[in-house]
Amino acid sequence: MSEQPLSGITIIDFSTLLPGPLASLMLAEAGATVIKIERPGGEDMRFFPPRIGPASALYAMLNRGKTCVEADLKNPADRDKVLALVDGADVVIEQFRPGVMQRVGLGADVLTARNPRLVHCSITGFGQSGPRSGEAGHDLNYMALTGLLALSCGTAEAPVLPPAQLADIGGGSFPAVINILLALFARERTGKGAVIDIAMCDAMFTFALFAHAKLAATGVLPGNGADLLTGGSPRYRIYPASDGGLIAVGALEEKFWAALCEAVDLAPEFRDDTRAPAATGEALAARFAAHDTAHWSTVLAAADCCATPLATLEEALRDPHFMERGLFDHIVETGAHRLPATVMPIAPAFRGPRVAKAPL
Q: At 67, which amino acid appears?
A: T
Cα dist from 92 to 106, 191, 327, 333, whole Å: 11, 17, 29, 26
Residue 44 zone, left/alpha/beta (φ > 0; ψ -120 to 50; rest): alpha
3-state SS class at 86: helix
What whole-number distance in Å separates Cα of residue 273 and Cα of residue 269? 9
Is 212 one of the annotated active-site residues of the chain? Answer: no
Cα dist from 64 to 174, 261, 315, 357, whole Å: 18, 47, 25, 6
Contact status, residue 34 vs residue 13, Cβ threshold 8 Å:
yes
Is 321 one of the annotated active-site residues of the chain? Answer: no
Residues, the chain: 360
Rounded to 5 degrees, φ, ψ at 182 are -60, -40
What whole-number distance in Å separates Cα of residue 75 and Cα of residue 94? 18
Tell me which of 72, 138, 212, 295 is the catalytic residue: 138
Angle, helices 277-288 vs 254-264, to 10°: value is: 50
What is the number of other CB atoms lying within 10 angstroms of the CB of residue 215? 14
Rounded to 5 degrees, φ, ψ at 118 are -75, 135
What whole-number distance in Å separates Cα of residue 175 and Cα of residue 198? 7
Tell me which of 13, 78, 168, 273 is the catalytic residue: 168
Rounded to 5 degrees, φ, ψ at 353 are -60, 145
Contact status, residue 115 vs residue 85, Cβ threshold 8 Å:
no
Contact status, residue 248 vs residue 308, Cβ threshold 8 Å:
yes
- Taken in order 128, 23, 211, 153, the sign of the CA dihedral is negative
Active site residues: 138, 168
